């Protein structure tokens, strides 16, 4: 078993368009760990994801290593093949095409890292796609057209697309942002099941909503103004003091039996 950390970030300061977005960022994620990244709008969550994916670079002197590969001394395209990123913003690529993709086509496209699937899949590849859909509770959607799915079902298809290549690191980036309450709860149930599964990959769950963080994500960080304001075990991070400071309002927390926390104004 590979014991190198899944993610190492050291001394990372990152500027975009002259503005310093992340400040002296230090963080390490072990293999197989499940972390949440929580913060309000403008906290730096999107920039952090870009840095992990090698789409934005910190200033000289920083270290960013993903799955044992230090950026600047490796082929990032090869690293990305082992990293799955699922985000509702990926849904936009279906809007500008005359081709109607079925859900299984969306899942299959993860094999080629393409926008759509443009070749005939082998029987083995079809089985991989069905397995990926099944892992996220969406196998029954395989033959339905993607553009006819609900927002929650589309996100499940995109997560299956991310999972089909058997990634070592999965980044779930604001996956619930456009969902209604019912769709959100079904999706969170599926994500929680994925996290609890045997041989689950390393997972990062990015959100701005406290109540979306399921009990399976037992480690976390809170971001504020591009800095880590709290980091560690779930119970140490998700408390009223930390969350009130992060969101700038008094917050009271009400736990549910399943371990999730519901925030209300204190």
Q: Per residue in 4-54, pLDDT tens?
A: 999 999 999 999 888 899 999 999 999 999 999 999 998 999 999 999 999
- Cβ partners under 8 Å of residue 104, min gap 6: 126, 129, 130, 133, 142, 143
Q: What span, in angstroms and rounded, lies between the C-alpha atoms of 223 and 261?
A: 18
pTM (two decimals): 0.89
pLDDT digits (tens, 9 = 90+) for 52-98: 999 999 998 999 999 999 999 999 888 988 998 888 776 665 555 56
pLDDT exceeds cutoff 80 at 213: yes
Q: Specify the range with the lowest mean pLDDT, choosing from 7-11, 162-166, 212-216, 252-256.
A: 162-166
* Higher per-residue confidence, 250 vs 197: 250
**Structural contact between residues 217 and 261, judged by C-beta atoms closer than 8 angstroms:** no
Residue 116 confidence (pLDDT) above 80:
no
pLDDT band at 236 (very low <50, low <70, confident <90, very high): very high
Q: How many residues does the chain have?
A: 266
Q: Given pLDDT bands bounded at 50, 70 and 90, which one contains residue 117?
A: confident
Instruction: Tell me what the pLDDT averaged over the chain comes to.
Output: 90
| pLDDT above 90: percentage of residues in the chain | 64
Please check the confidence at residue 202 and state whether its pLDDT lies above 80. Answer: yes
pLDDT of 179: 85
The predicted pLDDT at position 49 comes to 93
pLDDT at 60: 87
> Could you tell me which of 29, 38, 99, 39 has the C-alpha nearest to residue 66?
29
Instruction: Say yes or no to pLDDT of 212 above 70.
Output: yes
Q: So what's the pLDDT on residue 261? A: 96
Kindly state the average pLDDT of the residues 185-196.
90
- Tell me phi and psi for residue 258, to 5 degrees: -85, 5
- Please say if the pLDDT value at position 99 is more than 90: no
pLDDT, position 94: 54
pLDDT of 136: 87
């Amino acid at each position: 078993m590979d014991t190198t950390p899944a993610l190492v970030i050291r001394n990372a300061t990152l500027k975009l368009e002259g503005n310093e977005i992340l400040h002296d960022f230090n963080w390490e994620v072990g293999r197989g760990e499940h972390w949440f990244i929580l913060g309000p709008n403008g906290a730096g969550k999107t920039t952090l994801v870009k840095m992990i994916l090698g789409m934005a670079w910190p200033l000289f002197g920083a270290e960013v290593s993903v799955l044992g590969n230090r950026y600047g001394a490796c082929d990032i395209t090869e690293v990305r093949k082992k990293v799955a990123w699922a985000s509702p913003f990926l849904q936009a690529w279906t809007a500008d095409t005359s081709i109607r993709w079925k859900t299984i086509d969306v899942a299959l496209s993860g094999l080629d890292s393409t926008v759509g699937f443009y070749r005939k899949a082998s029987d083995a590849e079809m089985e991989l796609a069905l397995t990926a859909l099944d892992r996220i509770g969406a196998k029954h959607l395989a033959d339905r057209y993607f553009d006819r799915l609900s927002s929650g079902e589309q996100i499940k298809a995109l997560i299956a697309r991310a999972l089909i290549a058997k990634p070592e690191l999965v980044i779930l980036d604001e996956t619930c942002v456009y969902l209604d309450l019912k769709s959100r709860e079904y999706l969170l149930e599926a994500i929680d099941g994925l996290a609890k599964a045997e041989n689950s990959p390393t997972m990062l769950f990015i959100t701005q909503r406290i109540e979306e963080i399921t009990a399976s994500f037992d480690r976390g960080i809170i971001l504020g103004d591009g800095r880590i304001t709290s980091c560690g075990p779930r119970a140490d991070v998700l408390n009223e003091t930390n969350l009130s400071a992060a969101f700038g309002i008094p917050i009271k927390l009400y736990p549910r039996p399943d371990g999730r926390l519901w925030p209300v104004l204190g």
